[in-house]
Amino acid sequence: MRRRALPTTAVILIGVLALTGCMPQVRGDAERYEKILADVPGVIDVSMTVSTPLPFTVQASVDAVVPADQDVVDALVDAACGARPSATIHLDLVVRADSVDVGSSVGGACPEIEQDLVGIASSIRDLDLSSAVAVELAERGDDLIAVEFGDDVLLGAEILDAADAVVTRLDAPTASVDSPTLQLPAEPTETVVQRIADLRTIDQSVPIAGATLIGDGLVLSLDEADDEAGADADTTAEVESQLRDLPSGLWTDLDIEITDGVGAILGGASTGAGPAGVRLVTWISEELGLFAVATGSVVDVQVDDVQTITVASEQIAAHNPDGVRVTFSIFTEPSFSVSPQDETVLSPHDNPYPEWVGWWQELADTGEVGSVEVGREGLSVWLRSDLILDEDAKARVDAVVSRIARDAGLDWYRVNNRTTAL
């Protein structure tokens, strides 16, 4: 009896599977796992997305939503661990308590739930907050749990109470908090708990809108929404003194900037900005009448015409004692922006904006340019959308950009994403 030889590809595949100890994974196995979880009594919802990054490999991301009931959570875990799927599973669990969702990535097909998700969700629900709350407990390495709130804005006591309800129940040596109105960096969990307690103490004296702690700088926004004048100097001085004198000693040596919630929003100071950025934004708003946004250590000033950039840059350069990086943006055509790696610390001795504005003006005069991105090493230009495919227009603009770049001693220039090294 003649035996048919297996195709070479099949022989190789069988050899690989034998060596690796792997058996082909099938989508149906992942779907069976999804159904097992969905059939657990009390489960609210189960959804799944599937990918096949390699032949015979199935990866499934499963999202399970359960009520704040530990019995249901335990039953889901038992069912998941008993399923034993051959597919690679990543399970995300959300515990829902009325309008509160607390989520966490709990591992593979047989999850290990290390945090008290039910207790956290129930505690936030019992606060009876003014809006829905979504919280994700994100693992960052072996030691850090990042507490990430969703986009719903909770002010003052509400965000502090919600953060406290989460962090005090974490089983992790290190924690951080990130929300639209409260940002606390990664520190030992007991330190984060104490910082929240300290801010709650201040809030009981003078209501606060939010707080951002970055490095050694704190921006504290007071909730003066009913007072158009905002917080006065005496109030801010009193609050700063209270913070520095708290028994924890956590605030003593910080650079502290206190502003009122309304002023911070109208002035353009965004969450994530340090004290120096907020101070500069406030000065730009009050003294120059321009809208600026501070993000981290960068202040972006938004103007209506490019000529304002030259004047404003010189004024800011003379009033930037903290050495904040400053960019300018205009939204006319051509638009003007600064390459992210060339965000500049403006000073009387370093202000490239007058030269950059000159470049922009030459390119705007062509009438064929849609946007300009300037920088210390290179210049990027894109034609107007209706001229993107016009080779004659591209050649004319390329000649102008090439001359500007060579005269300025730049390393390169770019027209419509085509880069030319110099």
* Euclidean distance between CA atoms 229 and 78, whole angstroms: 59
| Tens of pLDDT, residues 213-262 | 988 899 898 886 445 555 677 888 999 999 999 999 999 999 998 887 64
Q: How far apart are alpha carbons 139 and 144 in whole angstroms?
A: 6
Rounded to whole angstroms, the Cα distance separating 189 from 171 reads: 9
Task: Return the pLDDT at 267.
Answer: 42
Query: In the predicted model, is pLDDT for residue 9 greater than 50?
Result: no
Residue 272 binned pLDDT confidence (cut-offs 50, 70, 90): low
Bridge partners for 415 per DSSP: 381, 418
Instruction: Give 75's pLDDT tier (boundaries 50, 70, 90).
Output: very high
Task: Report the chain's mean pLDDT, rounded to a whole number.
Answer: 87
Smallest CA-to-CA distance from 274 within 252, 303, 299 is with 299
DSSP string, 203-233: HHHS-EEEEEEETTEEEEEE--TT-TT---H
- Under 8 Å between Cβ of 58 and 29: yes
pLDDT of residue 25: 54
Q: Are strands 174-178 and 182-188 parallel, antiparallel or unpaired?
A: antiparallel
pLDDT of residue 164: 97
Q: Is the peptide bond before 55 cis (omega within 30 degrees of 0)?
A: no
Q: Could you tell me whether strands 378-383 and 369-374 are parallel, antiparallel, or unpaired per DSSP bridges?
A: antiparallel
pLDDT at 13: 40
Q: Where residue 17 falls among pLDDT bands split at 50, 70, 90?
A: very low
- In this structure, which amino acid lies at residue 372? V
pLDDT confidence of residue 89? 86
What per-residue confidence (pLDDT) applies to 47? 93
- For the cut 80, the answer to whether the pLDDT of residue 168 exceeds it is yes
The confidence band for 16, taking pLDDT boundaries of 50, 70 and 90, is very low
What per-residue confidence (pLDDT) applies to 4? Answer: 43
Confidence of residue 46 (pLDDT cuts 50, 70, 90): very high
- What digits encode the pLDDT tens for the residues 366-401? 999 999 999 999 999 999 999 999 999 999 999 999
